[in-house]
Amino acid sequence: MIKYIHKKGIFCSTLLDTKIFHGFGTKILGNGIKKETVQKILKKYISHPVYVIIPQQIHSTHVEIVDQTKIDQRYTYIAASDALVTKEKNVLLTVLTVDCVPIIYADVGRSVIGISHGGWKGTLENIAKYVIDRMIELGARKEHIIAAVGPAIADCCYRIYGLRRDEFIQAFGDRVIRYSGDRTFLNLLAANIDLLLAAGILRKNIDYSLFCTSCDEQRFWSFHRDHVCIGEMLHYVMLR
């Protein structure tokens, strides 16, 4: 279950072990674009030095494996990447989203974690599979990986047209589509759950949020709703 912790301004998965420090951020946590938001998390909840990894997201399927060779300062920026995986402790992996889908991954027993940002393009190109493949390279076993899917725009709001609509119907069929009259809406959550299952993640190990970033103006920024990027939600995961 994805539960909301109001005093922290984050959503957490009850499937993830306490060894896995993680959260899906909201407006209440702060604007993820600002370094102060990360600093607030570290100051409040972490008492030891932590390295923060920030990917410069481009809606790709590139997954960066973060090891000691990639960590050269307290804040490390990874060029042209939309997902991160690591087995290093005290390394905070982060992504930012507005309406896109954040997913946190963890094989607790093998101490391998990951995080990804995927919008319509990353979903069509199956970024989840790439993350799982990289985690397996680090020693994870797909039958042990937990995947928690955070808040994103839902099919109540996400209308799609033309080629994008056709591509999703071809890739997933009608099971990720909602029709309302002559309008077509996309269920990004259902599409990503399909991808996780196809990649070998067990259904019992998939957690997800039913909150819509476009509907819930109190807790989320939404480009779809506001037509401008005012702020972004910060999502994070770390091995203690």
| DSSP letter, residue 168 | H
> Under CATH, what is the fold of the domain 2-153+208-239?
CNF1/YfiH-like putative cysteine hydrolases (3.60.140)
Which pLDDT tens digit goes with each residue over 10-58? Answer: 999 999 978 899 999 999 999 999 999 999 999 988 888 899 999 999 9
Domain boundaries, given as residue ranges, for the chain: 2-153+208-239
HSE of 116 in the Cβ direction (CA atoms, 13 Å)?
31
Q: Which residues contact 93 (CB under 8 A, 6 or more apart)?
A: 53, 66, 84, 85, 86, 113, 114, 115, 236, 237, 238
Residues in the chain predicted with pLDDT less than 50, given as ranges, are none
Q: What's the confidence (pLDDT) of residue 17?
A: 77
HSE of 235 in the Cβ direction (CA atoms, 13 Å)?
30
